[in-house]
Chain A
Amino acid sequence: MSAAAEERNARAPWALTAPALMLFVGVLLIPLAMTVMLSFHDWGQYKGIEPVFILKNWKEIATDPYYAEMFWRTFRIAILTTLLTALLGAPEAYILNRMSGRWKSFFLLVILGPLLISVVARTLGWALLFGGNNGLVNKLLMSAGVIRFPIPFMFTETGMVVALAHVMMPFMVLSVWAALQRLDPQIENAAMSLGAGPITIIRRIIMPQIMPGVLSGAIIVFSLSASAFATPAIIGGRRLKVAATLAYDEFLNTLNWPLGAAVATLLLVALVLIVVGSNALIERRYAEVFR
């Protein structure tokens, strides 16, 4: 092959990926860089945004315990949501996988169906069921005399975790489901023939093999919950803010864009660190199962 042709070949991959690369740079990297820059700008009630380089916003976030509380709550909710989805989603996927043909596709649809409905609609559904005195479930339970006061759900962390877990469940189920698909269909029979009972089979044979699926599902659910906006906004509102709703309020209500940008950047950096770190840990721990 001539040198010119070789050079042309070397350039081909770049030329072919150029459109996608430009889109990526244009709509993701540039706005992201601008947001990071914005977090170092100054802002005043009357002077608006001043394009200078100061650490005021970052200092405020670092020193004011209000922000620490906000971030702590964000990650606490994300962790609890992740645990809840793993606890319910993994058995759900296992049961689903054992169902026979027709039922399997039906229930898979039931699990994935909610993805077709907007997060807002799904969260408002919870509000209709549990929203204060007028919530359907609360009303029923109170008229039946089971409870005297409505179950607190709106503006509580529990409510947020339950609603988020509901929204995130399909991601966990799908992720575990994918891990289950890679299992040897005879593996349970093999364990049984060696004398293992059903509990031993699940604990010693199935669990270790689907753990990577549970963990990758956990990473998805955690990062989506920590950065979720719609559900915390509806359930938590202004009373119970998380990082995402806080950034939103700074941007659109206080109009303090630089501070909002700093909150958003911190959330992004923290999430990237957590996700990349845990991913590396999982890959090392489960190297044999992943191969």
Chain B
Amino acid sequence: MAFLELEGVAKQFGAQTVVDDFSLAVGKGEFISFLGPSGCGKTTTLQMIAGFLDPTRGAIRLEDKDLTAIHPAKRGLGIVFQSYALFPHMTAAENVAFGLEMRNVSRADRAERVRAALAMVGLAGYEDRHPRRMSGGQQQRVALARALVIKPSVLLLDEPLSNLDAKLREEMQIELRQIQRTIGTTTILVTHDQNEAMSLSDRIVVMSQGKIEQIGTPQETYEKPASAFVSQFLGKTNDFAGAIDRTATPALLVVGSWSAPAPAGLSGPVTVSIRPERIGFGDAGLGAKIVTRIFQGNHWLFQCDSECGPAIVIRQNDGQPQPTEGEAVRLTWRPEDMSVRARTVA
């Protein structure tokens, strides 16, 4: 049974539909990411779950109870805001204690739980600091402790790491994942960072223009993107124009000078997507010329000019000699590494 359920949720501001027909079932303890570019409706969806916005249509249920009928102050959800929204006039401990105070937790109990929550996020000893005297990362931890101390049924994270620098963000990702695993709180993360979504979540909801593009595990969404948008948004990808020739026997999928037995179903013009790390250099295949070669430590990045337009190739730095700039190469890949979609010819 789904723990948190969204069914056909939609939000309109005037004539503009910001979220449309959003349906999702979240299991207890699951870590879900809403991933998409800015303006795709992910934050709006989160705000509807939090109760700061009312859905225009659809139902949101938590443990089979209608969540939209409950006032946001009574929903008992923990929220970490992008700006953290800490109370600047209160110390870290007072910030964390606020939610407990609102729940009339006794003073002694409160002190104990605040201390434990701050220790959990690695801020033991910072109780009496004011937020403005703390670094961004520390403020983020206070915000997390404040959201978790009330033992929320669902933890909502609204781009919580976007204000941190790259190194700190990576540390916080690992820590966030560990904390979530330990306490097992059902968590929804809103982010525009595909790496963050992939490294943290059990499942990713990829959104674009208010609609769900794909729901799946990080691996599924990366390797079997359901749409051109998903394959473009999650990591780098090569899209080649190809065609399926049903007149040949057996039927052939042809991309430039590369060809393979055609998959069942499709025919005519198609788009073929292959991840750059799945392309190799071979003796036969798509003709290309290396335009630039960039060394990136553990791998090489090649930008090529192929028969089917620009292509990028990533090769592991495994000590083998690599083609140089200006060299003519043949690009080849295994048929199972590509995804093929019908292409409408303009």
The size of the chain A interface, using a CB distance under 8 A, is 22
A190 & B102 in contact (Cβ 8 Å cutoff): no
Centre residue among A191, A195, A197, A204 by max chain B CB count within 10 A: A195
Provide the residues of chain B in CB contact with A200, threshold 8 Å.
102
The CA of A191 and the CA of B73, in the complex, are separated in Å by 8
Question: Which residues, 263 to 291 on A, are CB-close (under 8 Å) to B?
Answer: 286, 288-289, 291
Question: Which residues, 182 to 239 on A, are CB-close (under 8 Å) to B?
Answer: 184-187, 189-197, 200, 204-205, 208-209
**A191 → B minimal CB distance (Å):** 7
Provide the residues of chain A in CB contact with B88, threshold 8 Å.
209, 288-289, 291
**A212 → B minimal CB distance (Å):** 10
Q: A186 contacts which of B74, B83, B133 (Cβ < 8 Å)?
A: B83
A192 & B73 in contact (Cβ 8 Å cutoff): yes
The CA of A186 and the CA of B86, in the complex, are separated in Å by 9
When each residue 82-123 of chain B gets 1 if its CB lies under 8 Å from chain A and 0 otherwise, what string results?
A: 111111110000000011001100000000000000000000
Provide the residues of chain A in CB contact with B84, threshold 8 Å.
184
Q: A184 contacts which of B74, B85, B130, B133 (Cβ < 8 Å)?
A: B85
Q: Is B203 close to A, CB under 8 A? A: no
Centre residue among B85, B99, B147 by max chain A CB count within 10 A: B85
**B285 → A minimal CB distance (Å):** 53
Question: Which residues, 7 to 61 on B, are CB-close (under 8 Å) to A?
Answer: 50, 52
Provide the residues of chain A in CB contact with B50, threshold 8 Å.
189, 193
Q: A288 contacts which of B75, B82, B132 (Cβ < 8 Å)?
A: B132
The CA of A197 and the CA of B83, in the complex, are separated in Å by 22
The CA of A291 and the CA of B81, in the complex, are separated in Å by 21
Q: A189-B85, A192-B73 are in contact. Are A291 and B102 (CB under 8 A)?
A: no
Number of A-B contacts (CB under 8 A): 71
**B195 → A minimal CB distance (Å):** 25
Provide the residues of chain A in CB contact with B82, threshold 8 Å.
186
B72 & A193 in contact (Cβ 8 Å cutoff): yes
A194 & B102 in contact (Cβ 8 Å cutoff): yes
B73 & A197 in contact (Cβ 8 Å cutoff): yes
A190 & B81 in contact (Cβ 8 Å cutoff): yes
Provide the residues of chain A in CB contact with B147, threshold 8 Å.
193
**B93 → A minimal CB distance (Å):** 14
The CA of A186 and the CA of B98, in the complex, are separated in Å by 16
Provide the residues of chain B in CB contact with A189, threshold 8 Å.
50, 52, 72, 79, 81, 85
B85 & A209 in contact (Cβ 8 Å cutoff): no
When each residue 168-192 of chain A gets 1 if its CB lies under 8 Å from chain B and 0 otherwise, what string results?
A: 0000000000000000111101111
**B6 → A minimal CB distance (Å):** 18
Q: B72 contacts which of A185, A187, A192, A209 (Cβ < 8 Å)?
A: A192
Provide the residues of chain A in CB contact with B130, threshold 8 Å.
288, 291
The CA of A245 and the CA of B75, in the complex, are separated in Å by 60
Q: Is B275 close to A, CB under 8 A? A: no
Provide the residues of chain B in CB contact with A186, threshold 8 Å.
81-83, 85
B89 & A288 in contact (Cβ 8 Å cutoff): yes
Q: What are the 3 A-B residue pairs with the smallest beta carbon separation, nearest first? A: A195-B102, A194-B99, A190-B85
> Which chain B residues have a beta carbon within 8 Å of chain A's beta carbons?
50, 52, 72-79, 81-89, 98-99, 102-103, 130, 132-133, 146-147, 150
Q: Could you show 10 A-B contacts with beta carbons less than 8 Å apart?
A: A184-B84, A191-B87, A191-B98, A193-B50, A194-B99, A196-B73, A196-B102, A200-B102, A204-B98, A209-B87
